[in-house]
Structure 1
Amino acid sequence: MPELHFTKGHGTGNDFVLFADPDGEVNLSPVQLAAIADRHFGVGGDGVIRAVRSANLEAGAAVLDEDDAAEWFMDYHNADGSPAEMCGNGIRVYARFLIENGLVELDGGGTLAIGTRGGVRDVQRNASGFQVDLGRWSLSGGEPLVRAKNLQVARPGLGIEVGNPHVVVALSTDEELDSADLTFIPVLEPEAPNGANVEFVVPADPLVKDGIGRIRMRVHERGSGETLSCGTGAAAAALATRYWAGDGAPNQWRVEVPGGTLGVRMWAAEDGEHVSLSGPADLVFEGDLTI
């Protein structure tokens, strides 16, 4: 049986199993990917990331058409083996994995273009670790009602697209946020056609301090369950809170998640408003796994 050399990494507790397959020769099934991510019988993680050159993957053709500098593709799958468009924490950990394994170089002022199913994303180093430009965002998915276990009534959500689909729900207190049982999948009415990550958010008091917005968040990730952090979810939560706060709300946000703190920033670009995510990326151990 083939052996797979892997690395375990995480970004604010959102953890991943990574392995290098530059030539695209290791094609694991959803069942095998889910077995690797299993926390009891496998390595354990919120997702599995394969490092493959864009030229050696069918999905990489569109990436190279968009930006021929995107040599590497982040082939990301959720813990249940299903593919995902993007992962904000995962792409920072992926960048560190590529650097530490000598596959790319990224100096302090450089930019690394990485291909994803959601398009090309640019990564840079910063003081907290890495920053990724998540690109343009949009309001999408309407305002579905969201039901979650231990929340007494359904709450309105706000659909936001950040390369992958999110629904953000505002709660009033920390106690309410802590009471939600996210081991159960939140129910959306109407359902999202392709599912969605669901974020529950509580604003800090005061909401803005020193020009930076502050929120606390928990998340149920599509295909993975509750995770300690979700990078694109943090961006979606900050965007939703700014939208609700109205004119004068800041473009910089500090998002507290169970696994740590993430930074979110919005700015105007030629093709529309972009949103970026910054935070740490850590590699914690390596090993060999028989598939």
Structure 2
Amino acid sequence: MTTLSFAKGQGTGNDFVLFTDSEGERPLTPEQIRFLCDRRFGVGANGVIRAVRSRAIPEGAAILDVEPEAEWFMDYWNADGTPAEMCGNGIRVYAHYLIAEGLVAPERRDTLPIGTRAGVKDVLAGVSGYTVDLGRWRLAEERLVSAHGLEVARPGLGLDLGNPHVVTALAHVGELEGLDLTRAPSLDPAPAGGANVEFVVPEDPLVQDGIACIRMRVHERGVGETLSCGTGTAAAALAFRYWGGEGMPNHWRVDVPGGRLAVRMFATEEGEHVSLSGPAELVYRGEIELP
């Protein structure tokens, strides 16, 4: 048996098991990841994040050719033991973990570049949380979304934020609250690698003091319904802005069951980026025997 020292972290209710393996010597098996994420027999989490130096993992070594300052790689795995490209809440918690562990020591206004399977993401520590530049985004294929609790399938807008999302708008809060997301929604056509599915309703009024406000629930591939999804909140805001057309704001507030997140769209030389801001904290530390 192997003893794993870990930390438990969360960002708006999206929770993670984090551990340090600087030189990439202790990768976990999918079975061990599923054990750690099990809420009855393990620690309990939506995913596992291994803190590993970029040079020590093939995906990270490739990133260093593009961004030599991305010393650390976020090796993120879903609760079902499958790898994921990115996690918007997870990367904020990961940045907080790196700082708390003394693995990095950024100045207050310095950005921290972190390698992910979706490329390098820059994270900025602030007074009330962390902001991550999720980078460029793009529209993807539209799909029909069926879910338990909805009488008929609804159109869903596909978006790619480094990981795949399908966003569908609902008519009112009652529909949102009436969804049964203990069972996975179905998508038509079904994407080969699956997708996160977001269900969204606007607040009334939608725009308040120049900020657009929406509510969201999400079913994450490889996990199930979660209290929050960082890239999913960005996808939801982007979808609503796309549907609303010209005149829609670039600042958004997204309420999820686990709290509140802020999304901002902004221009860069390479095209429009989207950022995500919100809290991150470490809840406790411990040790556990791995099977």
Q: Is the pair's TM-score, using the shorter chain for normalization, greater than 0.5?
A: yes
**Deviation for aligned residue 1:273:** 0.3
Work out the CA distance in 2 between the residues paired with 1:62 and 1:178. 43
After TM superposition, where is structure 1 displaced by more than 2 Å over at least 4 residues in a row?
A: none
Q: Which residue of 1 aligns with 2:188?
A: 189
1:39-54 to 2 correspondence within 5 Å? 39-54=39-54
Q: Which residue of 2 aligns with 1:11?
A: 11
**Deviation for aligned residue 1:125:** 1.4
Q: Which residue of 2 aligns with 1:89?
A: 89
**Deviation for aligned residue 1:127:** 3.6
RMSD: 0.6
In the TM superposition, what whole-angstrom CA distance separates every residue of 1:172-229 from its partner, at most 9, and x where no partner exists?
1100000011111110000012100000000011110100010000000010000000
Work out the CA distance in 2 between the residues paired with 1:112 and 1:12. 21
1:199-210 to 2 correspondence within 5 Å? 199-210=198-209
Give the AA of the match of 1:263: A
Work out the CA distance in 2 between the residues paired with 1:128 and 1:247. 31
Q: Confirm or deny that 1:129 pairs with 2:129.
A: yes
Give the AA of the match of 2:91: I
Distance 1:70 1:252, change over 3 A: same
What TM-score results when the alignment is normalised by the length of structure 1?
Answer: 0.99
Q: Which residue of 2 aligns with 1:287?
A: 286
What TM-score results when the alignment is normalised by the length of structure 2?
Answer: 0.99
In the TM superposition, what whole-angstrom CA distance separates every residue of 1:10-65 from its partner, at most 9, and x where no partner exists?
00000000000001011211111111000111000000000000000011122111
Q: Which residue of 1 aligns with 2:155?
A: 156
Give the AA of the match of 1:217: M
Work out the CA distance in 1 between the residues paired with 2:252 and 2:136. 17
Q: Which residue of 2 aligns with 1:277?
A: 276
Q: Confirm or deny that 1:107 pairs with 2:128.
A: no
Q: Which residue of 1 aligns with 2:243?
A: 244
- Corresponding residue SS for 2:16: strand
Q: Which residue of 2 aligns with 1:116?
A: 116
Work out the CA distance in 2 between the residues paired with 1:209 and 1:278. 18
**Deviation for aligned residue 1:157:** 0.0
1:201-280 to 2 correspondence within 5 Å? 201-280=200-279
Q: Which residue of 1 aligns with 2:177?
A: 178
May I ask how many residue pairs the two structures share in their alignment?
290
Work out the CA distance in 2 between the residues paired with 1:214 and 1:62. 38
Q: Which residue of 1 aligns with 2:24?
A: 24
Give the AA of the match of 1:273: E
In the alignment, structure 1 segments of 5+ residues that lack a partner are none
1:60-99 to 2 correspondence within 5 Å? 60-99=60-99
In the TM superposition, what whole-angstrom CA distance separates every residue of 1:62-103 from its partner, at most 9, and x where no partner exists?
211120100000000000010000000000000000000000
- Corresponding residue SS for 1:59: helix
In the alignment, structure 2 segments of 5+ residues that lack a partner are none
